[in-house]
Structure 1
Amino acid sequence: MQNKNENAVNVLQELNQFVNDRIEGYKHAADLTKNPAHRSFYNKLIQESNDFSNEINRTIGSFGGERQDGTTAKGKIFRGWMDVKSTVTGSDEESIIESNIYGEEWAQKAYNDALDHKAELPQSVISMVEKQKHASEATCEQLKQMKESVD
């Protein structure tokens, strides 16, 4: 049977793959957008995501685990699909924002999956995951507002 530290490491390593997908997704969006305000927003989200990843990796290390710097296979496939889509249809702002909304909804699912293990996690980990999840929810709402403004 695993102890709380091992459970925390496993949950956080998996979660950090999704956070790293978030970083790559916003880098991709910043490269594609032609709107300077959107690019600035995406760059802010890249920094926020880097901060989240660093926080997760510090916590993993404090429990004796190895850093998680990789991304998910699904994220890689999605970014590849976005490249194909932008080549065929162009990189319009609405489709970039829609992709980011999808990515944030996916990130929230990853946070929820991590929180499904609350009984196995230290309170400090639960608090960190909840804080990051709330930030993701706020970002998703901002993206939805951005989408409405470009319609």
Structure 2
Amino acid sequence: MAAINSDAARAFNDLVEIAKTGAKGYQEAAEGVSNPQLKSELSRLSQQRAQFVSELEQQARQAGIDVTNDNTVEGVVADAAAAVHRGWINLKSAITGQSDDAILGECETGDQVALQAYETALKSGIPAQVSSVVQKQHGEILAAKNQITQWKGSNR
């Protein structure tokens, strides 16, 4: 296996953090929406992102990347950004009276951030077998974001 450069390792760590954030964010979104079908779908997306974490951690171990160190500057920044985003979902929900459309909008934003991180990771020189997992997850996040956009449009 090719050696991992520091940019690739950092990008991969970011993906693990973003997937963890996505799992938490979708669970909070599921708890915040009133539509039972949306609640079910958002819970499913939370479980999907939790599975992404598992897949990414397995790939990291195989590639020799340590994703357990949460005390890196990047990890702390990612945690802070995740907390801010979760807080924004909560704040926006409170202000809009638990509007399903507002919550879906925040899910769209979260997925857009995730897509950018995945694209950065793909450009960072990660090994081919890791890249295939990252590409697959990127496609699933894009599909989820597109589905959320449709839900948001039909939820009015």
User: What TM-score results when the alignment is normalised by the length of structure 2?
Assistant: 0.85
Query: Who is 1:126 aligned against?
Result: 131
For the residues of structure 2 that align with 1:23 and 1:52, how far apart are their CA atoms? 9
| Equivalences for residues 65-80 of structure 1 within 5 A | 65-68=65-68, 72-80=79-87
- 1:142 pairs, out of 120, 128, 147, with 147
Residue identity opposite 1:56 in structure 2: L
Letter in 2 for 1:86: S
Distance (Å, rounded) in 1 between the aligned partners of 2:7 and 2:61: 13
Paired AA for residue 63 in structure 2 = F
Contact 1:25 1:100 in 2 (8 A): yes
Counterpart position of 2:119: 112
Q: What is the aligned-residue RMSD (CA, Å)?
A: 2.0
Q: d(CA) in 2 for partners of 1:69 and 1:34?
A: 37
Q: Partner letter of residue 134 of structure 1?
A: G
Q: Which residue of 1 aligns with 2:106?
A: 99
* Deviation of 1:61 (Å): 1.4
1:131, distance to aligned residue in structure 2 (A): 0.4
Count matched residues: 148
Matches within 5 A, 1:50-69: 50-68=50-68
Give the CA deviation at 1:75: 1.7
Structure 1 residue 81 displacement after superposition: 2.1
Partner SS state of residue 66, structure 2: coil
Unaligned runs of 5+ in 2: 71-77
Q: Note the C-alpha offset of 1:64.
A: 3.0
1:31-46 equivalences in 2 (<5 Å):
31-46=31-46
Q: Distance in 2 between matches of 1:36 and 1:108?
A: 27
**Aligned mates of 1:69, 1:53 — CA distance in 2:** 15
Q: Is the partner of 1:4 in helix, strand or coil?
A: coil
**Aligned partner letter, 2:80:** A
